[in-house]
Amino acid sequence: MEKSLNWREFVITRLIKASGYSAILFVALIFFFLVREGIPTFKEVEASSLLNIRWYPIEGHFGILPLITGSLIVTIGAGLVAVPFGIGTAVYISEIAPRWMREILKPLVELLGGLPSVVLGFLGFLVLSPFLRVFLDLPTGLTALAGSLLLGGIAVPTVVSVAEDALDAVPRAYREGAWALGATRWQTIWRVTFPAARSGVLTAVMLGVGRAIGETMTVMMVTGNAPVLAVKLGSLFSPVRTMTATIAAEMGEVANGSTHYHVLFFIGMVLFLISLGVNIAASSVVFRAKKRAERILS
């Protein structure tokens, strides 16, 4: 009896340990596959031609620069939407709203995070782009702007929940100290609480941006998918083509092992590395902030 119990415990513990390591396994596996299918690009395409400004794969033009700028401009636009609204909402929920309002708002924001991207894309091209075209007098409403607005909406719940946690985590003593010194609640929020939660809020923004850069269906349905080099401010009001939409739109047609196939995996690799970079930056911010806090408290 004793022996079988120990043996079961042993096996289960081993399984649990293995599960723990599985996350690393999957990340490595994903990276491995992306690299395995993406690296052959360099055997078949001139590395410098990847930096061309024309993307027309069926005729051998593999310039990914327009795709990168497309993703960038939509993401930056999304950030401009998600950051103020996300942080503002987080501040409202955590510092200003009465308790009953919090209980309503928090689930509502979470709901936004659950809306499928294809539904938002669907409404986007049925309702949002025509509206933008008429309202802003543009040639077409299928633009980076439409994508940014929707992506901002998708990123907001991430920003709100992480930022709100960060603001919540600021010890009450900070606020009370400020009030005791005569500061108004408003002044306290912006001069005391917010700076104290700064690293958490930064993490929230980075995670939200990470979410935006990775969106696929929504951008594929509303940004027009034109592979233009988006480097001017006005590009926000023109159609663009993102890396994610390119993969989704073209992956189905490629023959296994063709050059186009490899280039698409290469783009996937680029996306993976970008999100890796953002995440490492985000966690190092938190890490460094923790160390600073430890120094202060000790």
Residue 194 or residue 196: which is nearer to another protein going by CB? 194
Applying CB under 8 A, the site for another protein has a residue count of 119
CB-CB contact of 181 with 250 (8 Å): no
Interface with another protein, residue 182, by CB under 8 A: yes
CA distance 211 to 221: 17
Interface with another protein, residue 76, by CB under 8 A: no
Residue 42 or residue 186: which is nearer to another protein going by CB? 186
Interface with another protein, residue 179, by CB under 8 A: no
Residue 24 or residue 47: which is nearer to another protein going by CB? 24
C-alpha distances out from residue 143 to 41, 116, 131, 191, Å? 30, 20, 12, 38
Residue 185 or residue 198: which is nearer to another protein going by CB? 185
Q: Which of residues 31-70 bind another protein (CB under 8 A)?
A: 33-34, 36-37, 53-54, 56-59, 61, 66
CA distance 266 to 271: 9
Contacts by residues 114-118 (CB-CB < 8 Å, ≥ 24 positions apart) = 115/154, 117/154, 117/215, 117/216, 117/217, 117/218, 118/217, 118/218, 118/221
Which residues does 65 contact at the CB level (< 8 Å), separation at least 6? 51, 52, 53, 229
Q: Which of residues 204-233 bind another protein (CB under 8 A)?
A: 207, 210-211, 213-217, 220-221, 224-229
**Interaction pattern, residues 247-276, with another protein; x per rule: CB under 8 A:** xxxxxxxxxx-x-----xx--x--xx--xx
- Residue 182 CB, shortest distance to another protein, in Å, is 7
Choices 72-80, 105-113, 168-176, 290-298 (CB under 8 A): range interacting with another protein: 105-113
Closest alpha carbon to 209 in 67, 30, 80:
80
